Amino acid sequence: MVYSFFFVVISFVLTRNLPFYMLSPISNLCVFVLFIIGVCFWFKTKDKFIGIVFLILTLLAIYSLFFLHNEPLLVMRFYVILLSLIFIHFIPFNSLKSLDFVLYLNVIQALVIISISCYLTLTWGTLDYLPLRFWFLENGYGDVYTYGNGFFRVQIKGNALIPFFALVSNYLFDMTKIRKYRYVEVILLIATIFAGNFMFLIAVVFYYLFKFFIRTNYFDKIYGVKNIAFMFSLLLMLPILFAYSIDVLTMKTESGKGSSIGVRFDQVDVLLDDVSEDVWVTFTGKGLGNVLNIKTDVRDYSGNTYFEVQAFYFINQLGFVFFIFFVLALFYLYKKYMGTRFLGLLYVSYIIYAVSNPYIFDTNHLIVIISLCLINRYFKSNIYKVD
């Protein structure tokens, strides 16, 4: 299918953001094309609820442009991405080959992450590497750093979908028993560790725990050697996981307001405070494309359109009423186009790490929806049972 080509191109740009960041306009064009294709398929379904969503977001865009006088390009940008997240559900992606190709793109990114971390660990000291770190930061490639223990975290652009596709590979192996998916899963999980994002690890642990609980019918059938061994291993690991979590949180907060967690709290405060002028603004937001002209002790947010807590930025733009309405629309489409237990688990696992990173309601989120809809359609149209 021709639209699978756009799926692959967008994925290529996202995973090759380092060093081909100049290809972003191509990705934006592909998103726009998929948006138009999605609208065409929606017309065939005559889904009235989505028609209401379309109307409301269009009116909000007009209000943002002509009454709030927000930047036209930013208004259009957020209007297209929000509606793309809605209309992408209607495009009948069902090519497993295109999904395989996207998986391999993420494997390449994973190998890059692992290689950089191993190179830094073997050749650079905990202080000598700082010029290299500044090079990554100054060029907008992301960040590479260590807390002084010799383990280098590689948080570069293109990492956002690695944990998600590690879990997708696990699901595909369970469904098909094709061994290549197990190899892909292992490589992506190793890269998830080297990426060093704590929420990545939380999401991965969440997925495997709840997968186990679902497989055993929510504790009703937790018996047998394998299940007992798993629960015993989990109990042994909990103190280790708890100690590691405390250690990570301590390191992330030790620099106070300027720490990773401190910055997130600052952003939540700034974004919510900006829509607390009056009740109307709180409910309806500051409009699509709203930018803040605020500088705090932590950071200058003037002109920012990406935040670590990106979900709160959309609350800032849409207000609580329209934000909740949009989330309900996504849930409605999930139930209609991917409403199975394990696809829902994959989706929730992505949301867990996306909400505290700038990966929510963006092109990465679009790729997640395409992948889940594709998986659901593919297996339903073949002899496999989707669960």
Nearest by Cα to 201 from 174, 167, 235, 234: 167
Among 122-126, 184-188, 365-369, the minimum mean pLDDT is found in 122-126
Query: What is the maximum span of the chain, computed from C-alpha positions, in angstroms?
Result: 66
Show Cβ contacts of residue 142 under 8 Å, excluding neighbours closer than 6 positions: 18, 136, 154, 155, 156, 157, 159
State the amino acid at position 87 in one-letter form.
Answer: F
CB 169 within 8 A of CB 346: no
Residue 149: which pLDDT band, with cuts at 50, 70 and 90?
low
List pLDDT tens digits, range 321-357. 999 999 999 999 999 999 788 999 999 999 999 988 8
| pTM (2 d.p.) | 0.88
φ, ψ (nearest 5 deg) of residue 361: 55, 45
Residue 257 has pLDDT above 80, yes or no: no
Residue 239 has pLDDT above 60, yes or no: no
Average of per-residue pLDDT across 199-215: 87
Residue 22 has pLDDT above 80, yes or no: no
Among 194-208, 293-307, 317-331, 359-373, the minimum mean pLDDT is found in 293-307
The predicted pLDDT at position 283 comes to 87
Nearest by Cα to 286 from 275, 296, 278: 275
Average of per-residue pLDDT across 213-239: 56
The predicted pLDDT at position 36 comes to 95
Residue percentage of the chain with pLDDT more than 70? 86
- 3-state secondary structure string, 209-273? HHHHHHHCCCCCCCCCHHHHHHHHHHHHHHHHHHHHHHHHHHHHHCCHHHCHHHHHHHHHHHHHH
If one compares 217 and 187, the residue with the highest pLDDT of the two is 187
Show Cβ contacts of residue 1 under 8 Å, excluding neighbours closer than 6 positions: 92, 93, 94, 95
Residues counted in the chain: 387
Residue 233: which pLDDT band, with cuts at 50, 70 and 90?
low
CB 322 within 8 A of CB 340: no
Mapped onto helix, strand or coil, the DSSP state of residue 142 is strand
Mapped onto helix, strand or coil, the DSSP state of residue 148 is coil
Residue 242: which pLDDT band, with cuts at 50, 70 and 90?
very low
Q: What is the DSSP letter of 161?
A: T
Average of per-residue pLDDT across 296-301: 84
If one compares 249 and 29, the residue with the highest pLDDT of the two is 29
Q: Which two tokens stand for residue 181?
A: 């998916």
The predicted pLDDT at position 246 comes to 46
List pLDDT tens digits, range 92-129. 998 899 999 999 999 999 999 999 988 888 887 666 77
Average of per-residue pLDDT across 244-251: 50
The predicted pLDDT at position 243 comes to 46
Cα distance between residue 370 and residue 265, in whole Å = 31
The predicted pLDDT at position 277 comes to 76
H-assigned helices in the chain: 2-15, 24-45, 48-66, 72-87, 96-123, 130-138, 162-176, 179-195, 198-215, 225-253, 260-274, 279-284, 310-337, 341-354, 363-380
The predicted pLDDT at position 304 comes to 86
Cα distance between residue 88 and residue 35, in whole Å = 7
User: For the chain, how far is it from start to end, CA to CA, in angstroms?
Assistant: 25
